[in-house]
Amino acid sequence: HDALHDREQFQLVAIAALYIAIKTNEKVAFGSAFFAALSHDTYSIDDIEGMELSILEGLSWRICAPTSIQMAHHILSVLLPHVNLQDSTWGFILDEVRFQT
């Protein structure tokens, strides 16, 4: 709630959220030192990493939910050794899952 009323706290939350988003979604990672420098040292590495931890704990570490296609692929991979599916059937099922998303 402090971030809604405190500009500096809001900016720290925004920087930490961007830091998390880049770490989880991009191939190139930037360290917290980069974000501290980006803030012109308004926020320290410890500030950014502390807020990152607060955000992740607030979200119960649920930041990368699998997509439906990932779940279908995982389920089919587990089942595949136990069933006799043709490659074309496998492809059809994955195409249907993609279509449904």
* C-alpha closest to that of 2 among 46, 44, 58: 58
pTM value is: 0.64
Contact predicate 9/1, CB 8 Å: no
d(Cα 34, Cα 45) in Å, to the nearest integer?
A: 9
CB neighbourhood size of 95 (10 A): 10
Over residues 1-24, the pLDDT tens digits come to 577 788 899 999 999 999 999 998
**Least confident among 3-12, 29-38, 79-88:** 79-88
Q: How many CB atoms neighbour CB 52 within 10 A?
A: 20
